[in-house]
Amino acid sequence: MNHDWKNFLTDAGAEFGEQGVESFGNPERERRVTTAGDVLCDLSHDGLIAVYGEDATAFLQGQLSNDVSQLDAGRSQLNSYCTPKGRMLANFRLFKRSDTYYLRLPQSLVEPTLKRLRMFVMRSKVTLENADEALTRIGWSGPNAESELRDALGGANVPDTPDAMLTLPELNILRVPGIHPRFEIYGQLEAVQRLWDKLNVRGAPVGAANWGLLNVLAGIPTIYPATSEAFVPQMANMELIGGVSFNKGCYPGQEIVARMQYLGTLKRRMYRFHADLDACAPGQEIVDTSMTEPGRVGIVVEAYRHPNGGVEGLAVLQIQSVAESAGKLRLDTAKGARITVSDPPYPLTVAD
């Protein structure tokens, strides 16, 4: 994290932990306002990879699951980076600022992803680097987020649909899915500081976990080291939320991903779940206790504390187990916490 930005947040009341800003002094109140009000969040818990050079577009087009050629100053996209077996090493939001592409993903996956991508540069005229301090980044969400952001930007036409992006001289404003209008904002330090000060009057600053909760409520997964290589994109609903193109050229794992799409072999899907716990980590197993010998039928993608109690999370589960044994699924073991399964906020149907 940029030293000046960290000092700015500290002066605003931020309390830091291993995963970035933990809270602004009142975690319980912050959780409550996250799902009901207008909230402001530092996004430095996520890192950035910058990709630029004469061959940057062609290079990314040959490595990622989505159609990079569709990106411009008015659009961002979800994307994933897969193994040759079609398993996601990482997923991220991708956008372009000037001649540079930026991949936003968890800090813990920045260096592993960089290392692997660099293996395939070969003779391409492309540079990849850790861009953690290149752009300051914040999130803004809430019932009034769109109108308040428009006012804070002096009447600018902020994006009104998910994946749309507004490019300004000092800022990129990305609309992302959410239970309320929700935005990711990237830019130069001074410009982001000025915008934070304006929005801070209109909403409440919250810790990083609350932004994760908003991702979960929107059904948007994040791959972490514990789940890297665990899922084909469709298992995590990536093709349902605009993270996969079936009309572009080849990329690592493309054949596996396409076969699963067109032959109908998908046996796992990502669902929302609730459990009466204080914490739940990516990679934890979910078992079906209706079996004679309880067996693993799913994996937690991520989960966060909910203001109404317990945790709300996303998990990739066997479709059959959800249909036949939804009331008998538990976390880790047959004596673990019972989980309640529900659909994400979009249809679980195969995209055309």
| Model confidence pLDDT, tens digit, residues 238-285 | 999 999 999 998 999 999 999 998 887 789 999 999 999 999 999 999
Are the C-beta atoms of residues 258 and 344 closer than 8 Å to each other?
A: no
- What's the whole-model pTM score? 0.95
Residue ranges at the known binding site for substrate: 184
Helix, strand or coil, per DSSP, at residue 5: helix
Binding positions: 184
Which pLDDT value is given to residue 327?
Answer: 84
Instruction: Classify 278 in phi/psi space as left (phi over 0), alpha (psi -120 to 50) or beta.
Output: alpha
84-93, 244-253, 342-351: the lowest-pLDDT one: 342-351
Task: State yes or no: pLDDT of 352 exceeds 50.
Answer: no
| 61: Cβ contacts below 8 Å, ≥ 6 apart | 67, 68, 69, 248, 249, 251
- What is the 3-class SS of 235-252, one letter each residue? HHCCCCCCCCCCCCCCCC
The pLDDT of residue 293 is above 90: no
Question: What are the phi and psi torsion angles at 66 (to 5°)?
Answer: -105, 170
Helix, strand and coil percent figures for the chain, each rounded to 5:
30, 30, 40
pLDDT at position 350 is 54
Domains, the chain, ranges and CATH? 1-266 (3.30.1360.120), 268-345 (2.40.30.110)
Angstrom distance (rounded) from CA 64 to CA 47? 18
Instruction: Kindly state the average pLDDT of the residues 337-347.
Output: 95
Residues of the chain above pLDDT 90, percent: 91
